[in-house]
Structure 1
Amino acid sequence: MDIPRIFNITESAHRIHNPFTPEKLATLGAALRLDSGIRMLDLGSGSGEMLCTWARDYGIVGVGIDMSRLFSKQAKLRAEELGVTDQVVFIHGDAAGYVAGEKVGVAACLGATWIGGGVVGTIELLAKSLCTKGIILIGEPYWLQIPPTEDVAKGCGADSISDFLMLPELLASFDGLDFDVVEMVLADQEGWDRYEAAKWLTMRRWLESNPDDDFAKDVRAKLTLEPKRYAAYTREYLGWGVFALMAR
């Protein structure tokens, strides 16, 4: 089990696999007013930066699940680096359908709502692991402005304009699911630039180290295209944020 190879290559140097900077991640942790010892579940935990830094800074304990062998390995190494291996566990596996054996105070899925077939299904899945009065964290894109054409939406990585909502409509959708939005932290331009542009140097260095790899042609094509695509589409049209929800 693993994610497509291109993601393991382009994001191999990333600690955070979304447009949050370390500062934004710390802001989110502080905003949630986490108590020491609170249990947390993170579906699609990537390289484990959220669980590891929050374990260090706030004393949380938790479990992360991710399909990438590379990212799961990096998460375990990060836990060792920060001295929190007794507080967090990382599992390499499919998070779809995963329910914690013990109820958690925070259940998160940041930027991987495909795990539950979309936002609604992911919230329903996370709720199965959540204790009463617990918090769900959903990381999700939204339109900064509606793309003028479907081709522009596809340039942002969406299948269609209808894949994402404007921020007010996204917040209203949580209300329609009978959840209160109790906090939100939004990515900024710097976060987007760090998330996307860091991939380009990673790809270039991978190409220099693997010139004869059968996959080099695909990586070269992506490196050539990505700066222009990002500047023309994602940077102009797409926002991203983490939304904290509590059931009514």
Structure 2
Amino acid sequence: MDLPRSFTIREGDLRILNPFDAGKLATLGRAIKLEPGTSILDLCSGKGELLCTWARDHGITGTGVDISTVFTAAARERAAELGVADRVRFAHGDAATYVPEEPVDLAACVGATWIGDGVPGTLEILRRSLRPGGMALVGEPYWRLDPPDAETVTGCQARTRDEFQGLPGLVRLFAECGWDLVEMVLADQDSWDRYAAAHWLNLRRWLDANPDDELAGELRRELTEDPLRYVRYQREYLGWGVFALLRR
């Protein structure tokens, strides 16, 4: 059980594997008023930057679960680097089925609602790990602008227009699922640029070093096509944010 190798090549040395930068991640931690000792479960935790920096800055404790062995190893290294390995731990496993031994104060799934086949299912996965009154964090794309045609939908890597909501529709969906939206921090075009463009440099450096690898043709096509697709479609039409929710 692991991610395809192309994912780790694309992400390269990135620490935050979504369109947030370090400033926005820090803003989110302050906005939800984290207190020392807050227990956090981070599902699809990637390279662990959320848990590691929040342990350093706010004194939280937590567990991250991710399907990638490479990302999990990087998360453990980051915890050691920041001196928080005694407060956070990282497990390789299936985030969709993981349940902690004890309920937590905050459960997060930031940018991977595929584990629940969408927002409603992911909220249910998070709910089962929360103590009464605990907070859920969900990271999710949304339409910044209504896509005018199927080409734009495909260019934003969506299967259908209905795969994503507009921002009002997403907020309405949270309410329909029985949750109050109590905070949000949204990516902007600059943080999207930093995430998307970092992939291009990672791909190019890897291709230069590995021209005969079996993945070279596939990743060469991606590097050729992705910059134009991004600036033509995704940058204008697709937003992304992290939403803090409390059960009604």
TM-score, normalisation: structure 2: 0.98
Aligned counterpart, 2:225: 225
CA distance in 2, matches of 1:42, 1:151: 34
In structure 1, give the amino acid aligned to 2:174.
F
The answer to whether residue 184 in structure 2 is matched with residue 154 in structure 1 is: no
Please, which moves more after superposition, 147-156 or 121-130?
A: 147-156
CA distance in 2, matches of 1:182, 1:215: 43
CA distance in 1, matches of 2:6, 2:161: 24
Aligned counterpart, 1:99: 99
CA shift for structure 1 position 154: 1.2
The answer to whether the 8 Å contact 1:12/1:71 transfers is no
- Which residues in structure 2 correspond to 1:32-181 (within 5 Å)? 32-181=32-181
CA distance in 2, matches of 1:74, 1:165: 33
Describe the superposition over 1:48-90 as per-residue Cα deviations: whole angstroms up to 9, x where unpaired: 0000000000000000011111111110110010000000000
The answer to whether residue 212 in structure 2 is matched with residue 246 in structure 1 is: no
Aligned counterpart, 2:190: 190
Please, which moves more after superposition, 141-150 or 20-29?
A: 141-150
CA shift for structure 1 position 151: 2.1
Percent identical: 56
- Any gaps of 5 or more consecutive residues in structure 1? none
Describe the superposition over 1:92-124 as per-residue Cα deviations: whole angstroms up to 9, x where unpaired: 111112111111000000000011111100000
The answer to whether residue 7 in structure 2 is matched with residue 7 in structure 1 is: yes
Number of matched residues?
248
The answer to whether the 8 Å contact 1:97/1:116 transfers is no
- Any gaps of 5 or more consecutive residues in structure 2? none
CA shift for structure 1 position 146: 1.1
TM-score, normalisation: structure 1: 0.98
| C-alpha RMSD over aligned residues | 0.7
Describe the superposition over 1:204-244 as per-residue Cα deviations: whole angstroms up to 9, x where unpaired: 11011111111111111111111101001110100000000
Moved over 3 A (4+): none
The answer to whether the 8 Å contact 1:12/1:70 transfers is no
The answer to whether the 8 Å contact 1:184/1:244 transfers is yes
Aligned counterpart, 2:216: 216
In structure 1, give the amino acid aligned to 2:152.
V
CA distance in 1, matches of 2:14, 2:115: 21
CA distance in 2, matches of 1:85, 1:113: 27
Describe the superposition over 1:9-42 as per-residue Cα deviations: whole angstroms up to 9, x where unpaired: 1002210010001000000000011110110000
